[in-house]
Amino acid sequence: MKKSLPRIILVGESEKFLRISEAGRKLAEIHLNYEKFEKPDEVEVKIEKENFLVKKIRFAKDDRSTIIYNEYITIKNIPLKAYEYVVNGRSPIEWVMERYQVKIDSASGIENNPNDWCTEHDNPRYILDLLLSCITVSLKTLEIVENLPEVEF
């Protein structure tokens, strides 16, 4: 296996360098503090009952702009652009949906229940808030990256 070193961009113009540097600072701030972001204004969260327990988070049928969190909570009007930000082949939104579900290991029979962590930390909304902040972080990241100046490697 070959390890590749980080690429350092040599930019001939100081203005481009400053824009890239500022973008890096903004991205670091967003990604280090991802849990602190509120949902985007256009996203609607419909809560019929204050029950934040998850079993399996899923998309509404043929509609990625709507996520069914559980039988009482639905997230609507998610901008499809949020799914364009991809890390290791999957958007952070989809990653949270897959990882934060109740699973039972077939070999051992051990249950992995993310609701237990929420209960232990007295934060029943944690998974919902994480999912909503991932939507915001994805959109903000895309906005910053799309505004980077063109550079040659």
For 75-134, how does the pLDDT look when each residue is reduced to its tens digit (9 = 90+)? 999 999 999 999 999 999 999 999 999 999 999 999 999 999 999 999 999 999 999 999
Does the pLDDT of residue 6 top 80, yes or no? no
Q: Which amino acid is at 81?
A: K
Q: What are the φ and ψ backbone dihedral angles of 118, each rounded to 5 degrees?
A: -60, -40
Residue 153: predicted pLDDT: 61
Residue 39: predicted pLDDT: 94
Q: Which amino acid is at 63?
A: D
Residue 1: predicted pLDDT: 57
Residue 17: predicted pLDDT: 87
Tokens encoding 91? 């958007």
Q: Are the beta carbons of 133 and 100 closer than 8 angstroms? A: no
> Closest Cα to residue 56, out of 45, 71, 75?
71
Neighbours of 75 (CB within 10 A): 23
Residue 30: predicted pLDDT: 96
- Tell the residue number behind the tokens 């939507």, with chain if given: 135
Mean of the per-residue pLDDT values of the chain: 93
37/1: higher pLDDT: 37
